[in-house]
């Protein structure tokens, strides 16, 4: 994909790898709140792709796609950092759901269903599911978890080094062992969502097609699974 003068044909690269940018953007959307627009992520990703085209040197031996993925993800993350996309209200909603999960699990001795969680939060089922949808972008670990602001911080239970960053925490062997146990205890449909998203790297739309449900429903299941995991890991 070089021109007659021996330079990289930018237009051809942009056309061929644009679907890669879209796939990465849609996959990352599952980890972001509803206020983030996928078109913004795609635009940032295309800038990353263009940067990869301009910087790539085939003589270095790395395949272009492998190199481009790093640049595309990096550009999208830079855009998200600048946009300050994670509102405090999202984390407040999630902590309320986590607390309800914990209370009901102790009361019933099992995982509560959505209607039971809605009742505990004094919401209708529709309002509860809308809250799950709006809370898209919840994370398994927040930076606040490292600041000791939570009296029942699950990181204190499972990790010796609580000064690391979230990525390093997820690589911690003891933490991963507890996480795997918590995932195994999830309700079957939520376990399926987590497996397809994080192991098979399917985006929410693709998961919905496999499960025969809408993308928004998959989003709700994903958000609820994260709340259950955080609640369970505080007790393990």
DSSP letters of 147-172?
A: TT-STT-HHHHH-S-TTS-HHHHHH-
| pLDDT, mean of residues 188-210 | 88
- Asked if residue 136 lies in contact with residue 91, where contact means CB atoms within 8 angstroms, the answer is no
| pLDDT, mean of residues 168-180 | 61
From the list 103, 187, 172, 117, the residue with the least C-alpha distance to 140 is 172
CA distance 207 to 205: 5
139: phi then psi, degrees, rounded to nearest 5: -120, 155
Q: Which tens digits make up the pLDDT trace of 102-153?
A: 999 999 999 999 999 999 999 999 999 999 988 776 666 554 443 344 444 4
Q: Name the pTM for this structure.
A: 0.58
Please state, for a pLDDT cut of 90, what percent of the chain lies above it.
Answer: 32
Give the pLDDT of residue 163: 43
- The domains of the chain, with CATH numbers, are 10-83 (1.10.1740.10), 88-235 (1.20.140)
Residue 174's pLDDT band (cuts 50, 70, 90): low
Separation in Å, CA 83 to CA 42, 77, 142, 168, 212: 15, 10, 17, 24, 34
| 3-state SS, residue 8 | strand
CA distance 53 to 47: 10
Q: What is the mean pLDDT of the chain?
A: 78
Give the pLDDT of residue 118: 96
């Amino acid at each position: 994909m070089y021109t007659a003068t021996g330079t990289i044909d930018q237009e051809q690269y942009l056309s061929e790898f644009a679907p890669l940018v879209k796939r990465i953007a849609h996959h990352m959307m599952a980890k972001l709140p509803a206020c983030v627009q996928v078109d913004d992520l795609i635009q940032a990703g295309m800038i990353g792709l263009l940067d990869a085209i301009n910087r790539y040197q085939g003589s270095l031996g790395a395949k272009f796609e492998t190199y481009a993925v790093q640049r595309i993800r990096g550009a999208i993350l830079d855009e998200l950092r600048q946009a300050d996309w994670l509102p405090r209200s999202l984390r407040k909603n999630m902590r309320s759901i986590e607390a309800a999960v914990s209370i009901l699990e102790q009361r019933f001795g099992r995982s509560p269903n959505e209607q039971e969680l809605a009742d505990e939060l004094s919401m209708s089922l529709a309002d509860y599911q809308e809250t799950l949808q709006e809370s898209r972008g919840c994370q398994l670990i927040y930076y606040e978890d490292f600041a000791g602001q939570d009296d029942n911080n699950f990181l204190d239970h499972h990790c010796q080094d609580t000064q690391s960053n979230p990525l390093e925490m997820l690589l911690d062997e003891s933490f991963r062992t507890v996480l795997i146990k918590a995932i195994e205890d999830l309700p079957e449909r939520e376990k399926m969502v987590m497996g397809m998203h994080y192991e098979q790297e399917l985006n929410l739309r693709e998961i919905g097609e496999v499960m025969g449900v809408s993308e928004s429903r998959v989003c709700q299941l994903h958000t609820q699974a994260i709340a259950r995991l955080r609640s369970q890991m505080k007790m393990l």
